[in-house]
Copies of this chain bind each other. A is one copy, B any other.
Amino acid sequence: MSDRPVPADAPLPPSVIAELSCGLPSAIEAIGERWSFLILRAAFNGMRHFEEMQGHLGIARNILADRLSRLTGHGILERRPCDDDRRRIEYRLTDKGEALLPVLIALRQWGERWGTGVPSNPVLIDRRDERPVQEVRVRAADGRDLTWKDLRWSWREADPATE
């Protein structure tokens, strides 16, 4: 019914473009700033404290403070003072933050493959079989790998039968 054929490799008509809605802007709002990805990588690497991140990322303290508060504000990191030393604050990934893993891995893999060609080290392996994770890909419902050419856009709900 509501399934206009809009090929992925052809321009969308303007009226269509105007209706595009997409989770991307909200994602960018939350983590699109310069240092956010690297801070998240640090968090995934197990770093949980301000000084630790500051020292290893070489980021300015005020910027780090701002990014950390923004990330906690978006519910991506959780901020909690430590019990044993109340000066120390622990920043920990929330479920929402951990859900960014595929994005981070995909970006890292892309950078490794197409960037400076430096092989990442260490590499993430599955604890169970001790083998490296697969390349992150877009897959069809039945599991086939898909490229952009295999895809097209489709409206999934009642479409205003404009035009």
Contact = CB atoms under 8 A, between A and B. Distances in A.
Contact of A10 (B21, B46, B75): B46
Nearest to A75: B114
A152 B129 contact: no
A60 interface: no
Contacts of A138: 101-102, 105, 124, 133-134, 136
A6 interface: yes
Contacts of A48: 11
A115 B88 CA distance: 29
Given A96-B114, A141-B131, A151 B124 contact: yes
Nearest to A133: B138
Nearest to A3: B130
Contacts of A133: 138-141, 146, 151
A16 to B, nearest CB: 8
A107 to B, nearest CB: 5
A120 B19 CA distance: 10
Contacts of A148: 44, 93, 98, 101
B102 A23 contact: no
